[in-house]
Amino acid sequence: MSMGAGRLSGVGVFDFDGTLVDTLGEISSALNRVLAKHGRRSLSEAEVKILVGRGPQTLLHRAWGATGKSAAGKEVEGLTEEYFAEYGRSNSGMSRPYAGVDDGLRRLVQRGWRLGICTNKDGATVRKLVKKLGWDRWIRVVVSGEDSVRKPDARPLRLALSRLKAGRGRHLFVGDSGVDRETARRAGVEGVFVGYGYGERDGTEERYFGAAVELLSWMGRAGP
């Protein structure tokens, strides 16, 4: 995808949950506390893994449907606010980068890649964790669900590319879900699917990697 003239540049935009960081423990813990407040049963991490992918409101809507009478509209909005409050109290130590990500991001920047994040997760949470992990040295742009419309609409990814000043060169979007695959397709960006996160492979992926270290090593070798 080209977004204007200029020198060749490699731009890599990543989804967050299930792509760079395993946050399933935090998500499950916060969600189950909200469910418990409303007399609902807890969900296992395996169950929660199936529900994530389109942002917090969708997560709460799906969780309510999975545990009893569904919720909609204003009720889901209220439940989402409760979830944000609980997530803020979660043990952030439960979220861990996938093996190889720290070193891989550093090496990509050294090779000339410009890096960003495009996620449906709330931006305050993502930026806080990016800073805590020390990744704000390398990841300059975070586009979240509230900054634009949500994936799989192409606009948030295009916004991330614009903020990264993507010119001529290789542009990648890396994610772990069908939503991410569709976002890349709609934006006309080379899509990369990772199989270690929360989504499932369906055979339509342009590129597939089963481990973060494999993905980042390939990006380093391929170059920008």
**118 - beta bridge partners?**
143
| DSSP three-state, residue 157 | helix
What are the tokens at 64?
Answer: 């309510």
Q: Quickly tell me which residue has 């342009």 as its tokens.
A: 206
Q: 15 an active-site residue?
A: yes
As given in the structure block, the two tokens for residue 12 are 């890599």
H helices of the chain, in order, are: 24-37, 45-51, 56-67, 74-88, 101-110, 123-132, 155-163, 178-187, 212-222
Say which of 15, 17, 122, 180 is annotated catalytic: 15
Side chain identity at residue 40, one-letter code: R
Give the Cα separation of 183 and 149 in Å (integer). Answer: 12
Q: What is the DSSP letter of 92?
A: G
Catalytic site positions: 15
